[in-house]
Amino acid sequence: MGTDSSKYDMIIIGAGPAGMATAIYASRMGWNTLVLDKLIVGGLAYTTPIIENYPGFSEISGPEFADRLKKQAEKFGTEIKESVEVIDIKVGGPEIEVQTPLDTYIAKVIVLAMGTTHRHLGVPGEEKLKESGVSYCATCDGPIYKTRKVIVVGGGNSAVTEALYLETVPAREVSLIHRRDQLRAEESLQKQILENSEVKIVWNSVVTEIIGDEVTGVKKVTIKNVKTGEEQQKRVKAVFVAIGILPNNKLAKKIGVKLTDNGLIEVDSNQRTNIPRVYACGDITPGQGQISVAVGEGTTAAISAFLDMRGGDWYGNE
């Protein structure tokens, strides 16, 4: 199909595991493929300290996993542009236009794999101190706080994983603040943090304020017990927020892609959206939120697009 430098057979928006799996398959099938991401390759997987549930790797860090994805895609000819934000998409014509602040790219097919973003606490001090001690990525920022007191907010897999990682940095003290009286993380992670770590868990509690300034950073947090209403202040140097995710669906809304009540992109079993030649995969679609699932969906999206454009199936039936 396309050969012009600004024209591609497929453009993938999002360079997480789903988008990169799509790219690997599309490029191996001979398609001229471009991946665009406003950040870097890996998506939220990059921010995961240790990945233990991806087949073939008993343990691999998020950054290493992302690097392997990038190298594999590039090996097969995928063009990857990081730190490039897509600001508009135009559909409905014979080709699809993908616009960035500096360039416009043309594709026969696009795949939406924008994934999700971290949910914020929405408390005083959070936004002001985002670059000064409030973080959403322990892998990225944890080593800065070696020998310091830190807290993690949340009770799911991400929160527990980040708390365990920060303990190995090692932070001087790691506390996990959770609004309920039991964790939501999978059993293996619960066992690690409850039986084999020194992470201090503060149950039935939420952070209501983060105190500090941009120069000296976070100084302390206010913690409220949701059952008693009692408040206390705790001196810490960093707050790692891991309370869930939100879909990056702005572009999808803009072009009229059908969404679920939760803001995720509706797809069929072949990862097709309601708009012809627009596919979606990964955490931006309904599913289990697992890397292995995202990779499978990315694979499906690439193969489905290839077959749809070819007009047949793997067995040569036209």
pLDDT, tens digit (0-9, with 9 covering 90-100), for 30-42: 999 999 999 999 9
* Cβ pair 156, 128 in contact under 8 A: no
The identity of residue 119, as a single letter, is: R
Q: Label residue 311 by pLDDT band (50, 70, 90).
A: confident
Is pLDDT above 60 for 318? no
**Inter-residue contact 281 to 271 (CB < 8 Å):** yes
pLDDT surpasses 90 at 206? yes
Supply the mean pLDDT for the chain.
95
pLDDT value of position 207: 99
Q: Rounded to whole angstroms, how far apart are CA atoms 91 and 99?
A: 12
CA 224 centroid distance within chain: 29
User: Mean per-residue pLDDT for 270-291?
Assistant: 96
CB contact at 8 A, 194 and 180: no
Residue 58 pLDDT level (bands cut at 50, 70, 90):
very high
Q: Model-level pTM greater than 0.85?
A: yes
The answer to whether 113 touches 280, Cβ cutoff 8 Å, is yes
Q: At what angle do helices 17-28 and 62-75 cross, to 10 degrees?
A: 20
CA distance 217 to 34: 39
Ranking 22-26, 52-56, 207-211 by mean pLDDT, the lowest is 52-56
pLDDT digits (tens, 9 = 90+) for 75-127: 999 999 999 999 999 999 999 999 999 999 999 999 999 999 999 999 999 99
CA distances from 111 to 20, 32, 57, 95, 307 (A): 11, 14, 27, 14, 14
Q: Where do you find CATH 3.50.50.60 in the chain?
A: 7-117+245-310, 120-241
How many other C-beta atoms can be found within 10 angstroms of the C-beta atom of residue 94? 7
For residues 8-12, average pLDDT? 98
Q: What residues are labeled active site?
A: 137, 140-141
What per-residue confidence (pLDDT) applies to 131?
86
CATH architecture of the region 120-241: 3-Layer(bba) Sandwich (3.50)
pLDDT at 163: 98
For the cut 60, the answer to whether the pLDDT of residue 314 exceeds it is no
25 pLDDT tier (thresholds 50, 70, 90): very high
Q: Which helix (H) or strand (E) holds 89?
A: strand 88-90
C-alpha separations of 36 from 3, 119, 135, 156 in Å: 18, 23, 24, 30
CATH of domain 7-117+245-310: 3.50.50.60
- Between CA 60 and CA 273 the distance in angstroms is 33
Q: What is the pLDDT of residue 316?
A: 40
User: What pLDDT shows up at residue 315?
Assistant: 41
- pLDDT tens per residue across span 130-187: 989 999 999 889 999 999 999 999 999 999 999 999 999 999 999 999 999 999 999 9
Confidence of residue 2 (pLDDT cuts 50, 70, 90): very low
Q: How many CB atoms lie within 10 A of CB 175?
A: 21
Q: Is the pLDDT of residue 313 over 70?
A: no
Cα 304 off chain centre by: 23
Which residues, 6+ apart, have CB-to-CB distance to 79 below 8 Å?
Answer: 8, 33, 34, 35
